[in-house]
């Protein structure tokens, strides 16, 4: 998408937030008027999960540098341009 990729992603995120709010909006006709947690459950659950995530971040992750695990790092395989024979272990080889 080139330079339009960021714009498309921002529009998609804003649209999805609107859809989530529309689906979770507390309507007595849909969720009933008997119990508050039926109407407000989606917002309550999302808020509790967000608070748990923020608490975990400040308790365990804050100040730690982000790094890629060694087993997830890409392996560098040197290649020679115009080589007559493939280099052993080269994923582009035959």
Residue 88 confidence (pLDDT) above 80: no
Residues 67 and 59: beta-carbon distance below 8 Å: no
Residues 41 and 30: beta-carbon distance below 8 Å: no
**Structure-token match 């087993």, residue found:** 71
Residue 18 confidence (pLDDT) above 80: yes
Residues 20 and 1: beta-carbon distance below 8 Å: no
**Structure-token match 């280099």, residue found:** 87
> Model confidence over 58-82: pLDDT tens digits?
998 888 777 888 888 888 777 666 6
Average pLDDT over residues 29-39: 82
The torsion angle over the Cα atoms of residues 33, 39, 44 and 45, rounded to 10 degrees, is: 120
- Residue of 86 and 68 predicted with greater confidence: 68
First to last CA, the chain: 32
Tokens at 54, concatenated: 């923020």
User: Whole-prediction pTM value?
Assistant: 0.49
């Amino acid at each position: 998408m080139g330079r339009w990729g960021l714009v498309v992603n921002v529009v998609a995120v804003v649209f999805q937030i609107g859809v989530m709010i529309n689906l979770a909006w507390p309507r007595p006709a849909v969720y009933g008027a008997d119990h508050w947690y039926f109407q407000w459950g989606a917002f309550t659950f999302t808020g509790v999960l967000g608070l748990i995530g923020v608490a975990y971040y400040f308790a365990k992750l804050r100040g730690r540098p982000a790094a890629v695990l060694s087993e997830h790092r890409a392996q560098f395989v040197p290649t020679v341009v115009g080589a007559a024979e493939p280099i052993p272990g080269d994923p582009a080889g035959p």
